[in-house]
Amino acid sequence: MGLRAKNGKWHYRFMLDGHSYSGSTGLDATRQNVSKAQDQESAHRQELREGRNPLSRKVVVREFTDAATDFLSWAKMEYRAHPNSYHRIAASFASAKQFFSQQPVSMIDEGRIEAYKAWRVNEHKVRDVTVRHDLHALSVFFQFAIKQRWTRDNPIERVDIPSDADAVRMHVLSSEEERQYFWLAAKHPNLHDLGRLIINQGMRPEEALSLSKFDVNLDRGQLQIRAGKSAAARRTLDLTPESREILARRAAGESSWIFPAPHKPGHHIARLNNAHDAVCAKAALSFCIYDLRHTFATRIAQAGVDLATLASILGHGSIRIVQRYVHPTAEHKRAAMAKYAETMNTAPAKKLPEFASVRPN
């Protein structure tokens, strides 16, 4: 038995299957409570040996943080053809490891998952779309954990996951919101330049973050996106004057990358998201970095660019997908109706047919 007093309470630590486990009994560190504390340690040890529901197939005890390391190594290999999916999973696991910590994988049930959901929303102020991504990442983890015999089932199957409709968060910035946001974002050069490139070119955030100097041709006024999960995603974009200025300035640095440290895009985007959240809090705004791409798509469509051309610029092979990105504003719809009304007023009036008046008997 390994009891020790800490902050006036009995804590315990023991080894099982080569792993160290510890916990607090919540009991005052007195002699009278030694026996009760030892009982708690024994109960924890027994739970770890048995898992939740003892079956003939023994569960291998693994702490979540250790198991997560092995899982992420596997996920990096499994999603090597879709690196953005891996980075999304890795980003979700940054918070999951903090919450579940040394808890054995086999002891994580739907109750703990619900507590994790509440923690993410209440402590980190995340939205439904982030909760959805987090739960999908955990679901993939538990599927992997079952094969490794770290647990016997997937608790995600017994919790509510925000639907696609609840998780959608598309916001098109108004001109005033754009001005206010980038005025505050100027204190964060990487965030400011990333945002301006997205709203000027319609790139995905990860595409901009992965740009190297060799992808940019300032003489031609173009940049090339070489990586992508589809042929349409690999494309050449013509630069706006502001984009040329930003890229020329950033290309003058010593790094071969436009945004240094692209070898850790998951970590890089997490830092930028933190800066973005801070800026939004000061500006009393609520949107995600990806919404700058939605803003670009909506504005260029309103400027009269056809959907087929827009799909090519955005890196999509389907017009149907592009339609999800375009969100006409109320002002644009009013202007469209006013324009239509003008055509109606200038069109030659047609004489309406005369109908015989019929009186009821």
Residue 342: inside a domain, yes or no?
Answer: no
- Do 160 and 103 lie in one domain? The reply is yes
Position 54 scores a pLDDT of 39
- Provide the CATH number for the domain around residue 148: 1.10.150
Residues 132 and 230 in one domain: no
**φ and ψ at residue 122, rounded to 5 degrees:** -75, -40
pLDDT at 197: 97
Residue 128 within any structural domain of the chain: yes
The whole-number average pLDDT for the span 145-155 is 90
> Are residues 134 and 72 part of one domain?
yes
- Among 146, 167, 188, the domain-final residue is 167
Give me the domain span that covers residue 205. Answer: 177-290
Residue 91 lies in a domain: yes
Among 133, 167, 201, give the residue marking a domain's end.
Answer: 167
Is residue 150 located within the same domain as residue 191? Answer: no
Dig out the tokens for 132 from the structure: 């959805």
Domain shared by 69 and 124, yes or no:
yes
46 in Cβ contact with 65 (< 8 Å): no
> What total number of domains does the chain contain?
3
Domain-embedded: residue 361: no
Q: Tens of pLDDT along 51-92?
A: 644 333 567 889 999 999 999 999 999 988 777 788 889 888
pTM: predicted TM-score of the whole model, two decimal places: 0.55
Query: What is the helix (H) or strand (E) element at residue 235, kind and residue range?
Result: strand 235-238
Q: Which of 270, 124, 280 is nearest to 205 (CA)?
A: 270
Q: What is the mean pLDDT of residues 105-111?
A: 91
Q: Quote the tokens at residue 116.
A: 């994790």
Residues 182 and 282 grouped into a single domain: yes
**Last residue of one domain, picked from the residues 136, 167, 198:** 167
Q: How many other C-beta atoms are found inside a 10 Å radius of the C-beta of residue 297?
A: 26
For the chain, how far is it from start to end, CA to CA, in angstroms? 103
Within-domain flag for 354: no
DSSP state of 104: B
Work out the widest C-alpha separation in the chain, in whole angstroms: 105
Distance CA 49, CA 44 (A): 9
pLDDT of the residue at 265: 47
What distance in Å separates the CA atoms of residue 323 and residue 110, rounded to the nearest whole number?
37
CA angle, corner 266, sides to 260 and 267, nearest 5?
65
Claim to verify: residue 218 and residue 158 sit in the same structural domain: no
Q: Are residues 185 and 162 in the same domain?
A: no
> Does residue 333 form part of some domain?
no
Give me the pLDDT at residue 102, please: 92
Residues 281 and 184 placed together within one structural domain of the fold:
yes
In a domain, residue 318? The reply is: no
Q: Residues 102, 20: one domain?
A: no
Do the beta carbons of residue 178 and residue 196 sit within 8 Å? no
**pLDDT value, residue 180:** 95
Residues 199 and 258 in one domain: yes
DSSP per residue over 199-210, as a string?
A: HHH---HHHHHT
In a domain, 323, yes or no: no
Q: Are residues 242 and 158 in the same domain?
A: no
Least confident of 147-156, 184-193, 208-217, 323-332: 323-332
Q: What is the DSSP letter of 170?
A: -
